[in-house]
Amino acid sequence: MTNLTERTVAIVGGGPAGLMAAEALSRGGVRVDLYDAMPSVGRKFLLAGKGGLNLTHAESREPFLSRYGARRARIAPLVDAFGPEALRAWARGLGIDTFVGSSGRVFPVEEKAAPLLRAWLHRLREAGVRFHARHRWLGWDETDAEAGALRFETPQGEQAVRADAVVLALGGGSWPQLGSDGAWVPLLLQRGVDVAALRPANCGFDIGWSEHFRARFAGHPVKSVVARCVDAAGAEWKKQGEFVVTATGVEGGLIYALSAPLRDGIAANGKAVLHLDLAPGRELPRLVEELSRPRGSRSLSSHLQSRLGLKGVKVGLLRELLPAEDFADPARLAAAIKALPLRLVAPRPLAEAISSAGGVAFEAVDERLMIRALPGVFCAGEMLDWEAPTGGYLLTACFASGRAAGLGALAWLKGLEA
């Protein structure tokens, strides 16, 4: 019988999920080797920290779990085991205090990722975790009778690594320059693993502006609006916030929050329509009344600003999207201000998205996150088929699933000892 301390686990991927799996396994006493294709680990994590590192969210359990949509039932046990409060306590254990912002989002007091990552890596190294940078996973050695050796491309040439268990935490397909390039998808498909195609999530969309509008308003924020859309199943989605006009279309927090139904609508129907309320809080009859007032010698733009407070990019959107005759009809113009249709034609490429949907189907893994077709191989993070909006939900599920995969691998190894 082999002692558990003599067992080795290979973790492939050095993002939050892989690092959390390494922590769970090293605490369990096994030997841990972590491999990453990049020169250093946590690169996408550090990028997220440039905006303040939104670790998690302070809202209560039910609304929190609702953010995971169709995958709520599979994410719930992971988050229940290691949710927002546990994550904040874990950060405190690294010497990183957190605070709750006005929107309920949770940030480190320093609002940076680097101090947390440094403290975390120091603790992992102290626990014996060995890091191997510039090791790009190539799959398994198919010439091996047991097909158990992992193949890595390294600066010293290809290397084969054997381990008693494997945790795959290679990320999705967004921001490939930081390491998550989705190159693992065909490797798992070849082994009979059910993998849903990777798709952009929390992404921008193309519209196809006129050259005049693009030149004048690209980069301008559109603030204090309500956006509404109907998904492919007929359910209405509605959010308030702001977004940014881009050279090709729209992006930003409000767009990201609705990106899943918009993306799926385009996939189903070839397009999606997002209706904007440019004057939230103002009722339609009042708008009609204000627009019906004589404007004298003032221009229409001055009239809209004076009577409704609309100016700049909001007026630009009206001029871009409405026929000229609508501006002469107060009722039609007011209706457009309350429900201006933006016709989206395509999501921006996966490489530009904040995160990705698709990945290893939850039906392909057991409750320990072990891939059913590959005993001893576990999966965590964005490799799994789930998605969530920004706001701390992405990182929380990555941390929670990494911990679950690490504990699952540890339990599986203990089972081998029995």
Per-residue pLDDT of the chain (418 residues; tens, 9 = 90+): 457 788 999 999 999 999 999 999 999 999 999 999 999 999 999 988 787 899 999 999 999 999 999 999 999 999 999 999 999 999 999 999 999 998 899 999 998 999 999 999 999 999 999 999 999 999 999 765 455 799 999 999 999 999 999 999 999 999 899 889 999 999 999 999 999 999 999 999 999 999 999 999 999 999 999 999 998 888 899 999 999 999 999 999 999 999 999 999 999 988 899 999 999 988 998 888 888 888 777 777 887 887 788 899 999 999 999 998 988 888 998 899 999 999 999 999 999 999 999 999 999 999 999 999 999 999 999 999 999 999 999 999 999 999 999 999 999 999 886 5
If asked whether residues 282 and 398 sit together in one domain, one would say: no
If asked whether residues 185 and 313 sit together in one domain, one would say: no
The pLDDT value given to residue 145: 43
If asked whether residues 89 and 188 sit together in one domain, one would say: yes
The pLDDT value given to residue 1: 44
Q: What is the CATH number of the domain that holds 195?
A: 3.50.50.60
To 10 degrees, what angle do helices 114-126 and 16-27 make? 30
Quote the CA–CA distance of 144 and 149 in Å, as a whole number.
7
Q: Which two tokens stand for residue 297?
A: 């010698």
Range of the domain at 337: 205-347
- Phi, then psi, of 287 in degrees rounded to 5: -65, -45
If asked whether residues 342 and 381 sit together in one domain, one would say: no
The pLDDT value given to residue 418: 55
Quote the CA–CA distance of 394 and 177 in Å, as a whole number.
19
Last residue of a domain, one of 289, 315, 347: 347
Last residue of a domain, one of 321, 347, 373: 347
- 8 A C-beta contact, residue 396 and residue 79: yes
Total domain count, the chain: 2
The pLDDT value given to residue 146: 53
If asked whether residues 231 and 272 sit together in one domain, one would say: yes
Does the global pTM surpass 0.75?
yes
If asked whether residues 182 and 211 sit together in one domain, one would say: no
Q: Which two tokens stand for residue 253?
A: 């927090």
If asked whether residues 217 and 334 sit together in one domain, one would say: yes
| Residues sharing a CB contact under 8 Å with residue 256, sequence separation 6 or more, in sequence order | 202, 203, 354, 389, 390
